[in-house]
Chains A and B, each alone.
Chain A
Amino acid sequence: MDAASPLMMLGGNAVVCEGDACLVPEPTEIAIVNELLDSGTI
């Protein structure tokens, strides 16, 4: 791989490690909207 292009994010939130801490990131607004769409709420 040589150069990085912007990535389209797929999948939901899951645990990542950042520095010494590992945690589930807060859901982004897009993820929240996707979850509402998936569940048929909106």
Chain B
Amino acid sequence: MVVGPCVSEPIKVDIWSDVQCPWCYIGKRKFEAGVAEFDGEVVVEYHSFELSPDTPVDYDGTPVDYLSQRKGIPVDQVHTMLERVTGIAADVGLDYHFDDVHQTNTIKAHELLHYAKSKGRQLDMKERLLKAYFVDGIHVGRIPELADLAEEIGLDRAEVVSVLEANTFLADVKADVALGAQYGIQGVPFFVIDGKYGVSGAQDAAAFTNVLEQVQSEKAEVR
């Protein structure tokens, strides 16, 4: 999948991210804005990272319940945290609704992202899943809802149900998680650029542009 104008050898960017990571969606917007200002070609591939693999698919509670009960953070402080993130998301054009979020396990969503990659549609699927979770309040842990979202972007619903029920892409998810661990990735979003450079976190757009320009310059010197 290619983003940006084609004027030189493309730069590969591998992004570790989770569907239920609020800063991953914000970072995605900032990264895209940075790429838009970059005079070069960028090829993006998303990789799986599970922030909370022990969360049940049907967690019975709100994100506020989840954070206060699991992390012991006072409820007032959780509300303050979520209001702050919601405000920052709004600054990049994202309308987060934490009251509607269904806290869940994202392993099936990651499997779906690998299926979508096999069909050349990973970027569209990633965007749809993040929007579903943070903006639309759609459950992204269960196969029927995931199949609906896949169908929305033009993927074969029946095939999606089949591969998710069969865990066809589970090994690919685990391989991504293992590779991330090899890189020492502990938090997301995390960007690996040209297989050599690491950028951690939801950086400002200009930071992404600067890094891409630096990598492009170094690649030009090598040629």
Chain A positions within 8 Å of B, measured between CB atoms, are: 1, 3-5, 7-22, 24-25
Is there an interface contact between A16 and B201, defined as CB atoms closer than 8 Å? yes
Is there an interface contact between A14 and B203, defined as CB atoms closer than 8 Å? yes
Of the candidates A1, A20, A24, the one whose C-beta lies within 8 Å of that of B51 is A20
Give Cα A13–Cα B198 distance, bound, in whole angstroms: 12
Query: For chain B, what secondary structure do more than half of its interface residues adopt (helix, strand, loop), or is it mixed?
Result: mixed
Is there an interface contact between B199 and A10, defined as CB atoms closer than 8 Å? yes
Give Cα A24–Cα B88 distance, bound, in whole angstroms: 14
Is there an interface contact between B195 and A18, defined as CB atoms closer than 8 Å? no
Residue pairs across A and B with CB atoms within 8 Å: the count is: 91
CB distance from A37 to the nearest CB of B (A): 15
Query: For chain A, what secondary structure do more than half of its interface residues adopt (helix, strand, loop), or is it mixed?
Result: loop
Is there an interface contact between A8 and B201, defined as CB atoms closer than 8 Å? no
A17 touching B196 in the complex, CB below 8 Å, given contacts A12-B207, A24-B201: no
- For the complex, is B85 an interface residue (Cβ under 8 Å from A)? yes
CB distance from B174 to the nearest CB of A (A): 14
A20 touching B67 in the complex, CB below 8 Å, given contacts A8-B196, A9-B200, A10-B214: yes
**Within B43-75, which residues are at the interface with A (CB < 8 Å)?**
45, 47, 51-52, 66-67, 70-71
CB distance from B164 to the nearest CB of A (A): 24
